[in-house]
Structure 1
């Protein structure tokens, strides 16, 4: 339960920063602009935040893909940013894949469209080195 309250507290700090950035910049910029602004706001708020955090995907012990999550905060929260008209299922799947690839349980998907849209994603299944996904 302590971990959940930590995540709740963290998301309560991150989400207002997204609104601060959007209110200052407005819509229409490329995703990277919002990423850089978020990094400034998060660090000024005293949070440890890394941008372009590497996500590596392995199959049978071999690296098969490299991706980069937009922000990784306090070593427990992945934040994927978008600057699109509307979020899609593909964007949500991308975040869940980042959660799987980093063995992280919580993520935020933040869209800087005409207004800010935020989705909180949970990944409770944690893979070990020898586990593979079963076919459904």
Structure 2
């Protein structure tokens, strides 16, 4: 399955979670609900995935953790905050670079409509070739 297909399923699940729970809860609540929904539709989902880094050739376990990794391809960073800041964009891009994954979603559930809280970030993702009929 291509990252874009996985992203579609994640966004659909995020809409369902937000419709059910609404804004204003803790990130951990949304993470738990989203993971439950994604697993219920048969996706492989890992949570709080450790992400080591290398500095000057030395591997370091500095405590980076990706909130959610779906199908070992798409990184999901979950927020429940008043506003997404530039640092949150950079956090997701850093996770993509350190992990080698190509697509990430930054999802802020603390918004009136979750569509406004979903931001897509790419790190060298190639779009699939479309065949014409």
Same fold (TM over 0.5): yes
2:70 to 68, 73, 87: 73
Stretches (4+) displaced over 2 A? none
Cα RMSD (Å): 1.5
Q: Please report the TM-score for the alignment, with normalisation by the length of structure 1.
A: 0.84
For the 8 Å contact 2:106–2:119, the answer to whether it is kept is yes
Of 111-120 and 61-70, the range deviating more from structure 2:
61-70
1:67-123 CA-partner distances (Å, limit 9, x unpaired): 111100001100000001111111110001111111111100011012311111011
1:89 to 86, 90, 94: 86
User: Partners in 1 of 2:64 and 2:13 — Cα distance?
Assistant: 25
2:124 aligned partner = 124
- If asked which structure has higher relative contact order (CA below 8 Å, sep 6+), I would say 2
Give the match's secondary structure for 1:16.
helix
Q: Please report the TM-score for the alignment, with normalisation by the length of structure 2.
A: 0.86
